[in-house]
Amino acid sequence: MRKQRRWNLLATLSLLLAVILALIAITRIDIKPVQTRDALRLSTSARSLTIDPDHLPASGWTTLRGDLLNSGEAKVDQEALATAPYRAQVGVYANTASELDLSVPSFASSGYIWLIWDEPLQRYLDAAGISIDQRFTLLNTLITDAPPELTPVGEGPERRADGGYYQLFTYRGRYLLDQASFRHYPFMSISLPLFIEADDVDGSLSYNQLRLEPDIRDSGMGFNARILGWLNQGWSIAEYRHQYATSFGQGGGESDYSLVLYEISFGTSAWAAVWRLLLPLVVLMAMVLLVFKVRPDEQDARASIPVTVLLTLVFLQQTYRSDLPVLPFLTFLDQVYVVAYVVTLVAFVLVIWIGRRYADMEALEDAEAQAALRGRLDHLDNSWPVVVVIFSSLAIATAWFTIPAGA
């Protein structure tokens, strides 16, 4: 008996050592990502943003990009807006939003984009011998072999009574989805964006030269701009300062451009996520909770439950992971599954250990010793569900509250 205990202790220490060495090895070979120096800063021009606290998810996730300007930067930005030689107003109306694919992630959309610009910008276009749609692009377009991103409606720009110019375009394509709260999956929010920016070649339409102002009054979304299975959280449009980390080989400082970001926000239904993804997991964990309620003499039945649950857990996790991109972190649901794996493994180990103890008990000739061992095993059987519930609840709550705010 003592020899067996020594071997068990040695095996446990060896396992702990292997786990420690594995963690050290993973830590040393893990890659630390390098952050790009490209950045977006919200400008001080008029904007319409979905930032009502009543419409934001409890996770604190927001569609805002980058940092807000401080008071000094805001004052300088307002002066630059007033003195910019070229100005244009951009409006967006999304007719459709569809084919959301989180594994890329991307979405398809179509609708209208219109531009209203002043006489100085028109003189620049005339001097260059180009139309205005040749100087603007949708930065997050994924389909490179598609027709022109902006298709003019009508024969050309219209002259307005105030001396400005107006032209309407249609857009249609597939676009990159750059922002989503994947860490909170399956309770997540996403943003379907359109990034509209000047397609400059010589620096003449940089941030200090051309300012794009969003058309708040007429921009919006149609009734088909919805994704089945997702809850609409509204749309927003705003101007950002796109700070590139390059001068594009032109020399001088890094380039900044005015960018209009239009986006529609969606979120998942918490109830739907619970019924679809968490309820099957709860049922499986209930089976693990009740594993020691099976009669002790039916050891084979006891041992088969954790094995069956483990295989089912792997299948369920692979099913929902197929809908997501390859992420460099664990989502909330991933962490819940880690807890489930740990509980299932511990249950299997305890089944084997308790089975050995019952075999040892039958070999005992002392009735009092048999009764004492049986009492300890019965106590373990009875306390197992309580321990699992407490451990799982604390672990899952910790996983949720340690998710970075706004991630």
pLDDT for 57 equals 66
The answer as to whether 406 is a domain residue is no
Same domain, 180 and 230: yes
Q: Is residue 127 part of a domain?
A: yes
260 and 277 co-located in one domain: no
State which of 228, 244, 268 marks the end of a domain.
268
Question: Which of the given ranges, 23-27, 242-246, 247-251, has the highest pLDDT on average?
Answer: 242-246
The DSSP output letter for 329 is S
Residues 257 and 331 in one domain: no
Amino acid making up residue 209: Q
Q: What number of helices (H) and strands (E) belong to the chain? A: 8, 12
Range of the structural domain that residue 331 is part of: 272-401
Residue 91 neighbours by CB distance under 10 Å: 22
Instruction: Supply the angle between the helices 367-401 and 332-363 in degrees, to the nearest 10.
Output: 180
Q: Which of 7-21, 96-110, 268-282, 314-328 has the lowest mean pLDDT?
A: 7-21
**Whether residue 249 is found in the same domain as residue 305:** no
Q: Is residue 311 one of the residues assigned to a domain?
A: yes
Domain end among 268, 298, 325: 268
Say whether both 289 and 386 belong to one domain: yes
How confident is residue 3, by pLDDT bands cut at 50, 70 and 90?
low
Q: What is the pLDDT of residues 131-189, one digit of tens each?
A: 898 889 999 998 765 666 789 998 889 988 888 999 999 999 999 998 888 999 999 88
Half-sphere exposure at residue 261, Cβ-oriented, CA atoms within 13 angstroms: 29
* Domain CATH code at residue 305: 1.20.58.390
Query: Same domain, yes or no, for 171 and 285?
Result: no
**Domain for residue 4, yes or no?**
no
Q: CA-CA distance, 257 to 208, in Å (whole number)?
A: 8
149 and 59 belong to one structural domain? yes
> Are the beta carbons of 263 and 321 closer than 8 angstroms?
no
Sign of CA dihedral 308, 311, 315, 320: positive
Q: Which of 232, 250, 268 is the last residue of a domain?
A: 268
Query: Looking at the structure, do residues 105 and 240 belong to the same domain, yes or no?
Result: yes
Q: Is residue 163 part of a domain?
A: yes
Is the residue at 18 inside a domain? Answer: no
Residue 373 vs residue 113, higher pLDDT:
113
Q: Dihedral sign, CA of 166, 92, 207, 82?
A: positive
Residues 363 and 226 in one domain: no
pTM score: 0.84
227, 341: one domain = no
Are residues 185 and 84 located together in one domain of the fold? Answer: yes
**Between 83 and 11, the higher pLDDT residue:** 83
246 pLDDT band (50/70/90 cuts)? confident
In this structure, is residue 13 part of a structural domain? no
Q: How many CA atoms lie within 13 Å of 343's alpha carbon, on the beta-carbon side?
A: 32
Q: Which residue did the predictor score with more confidence, 31 or 323?
A: 323
The total of other beta-carbon atoms located within 10 Å of residue 117's CB is 23
pLDDT value for 59: 67
* CATH assignment of the domain containing 100: 2.70.170.10
- pLDDT tens-digit map of 297-349: 677 777 888 889 999 999 999 999 988 888 889 999 999 999 999 999 988 88
The answer to whether residue 25 is domain-embedded is no
* Domains held by the chain: number: 2
In a shared domain, residues 131 and 255: yes
Distance CA 400, CA 180 (A): 17
pLDDT value, residue 363 = 63
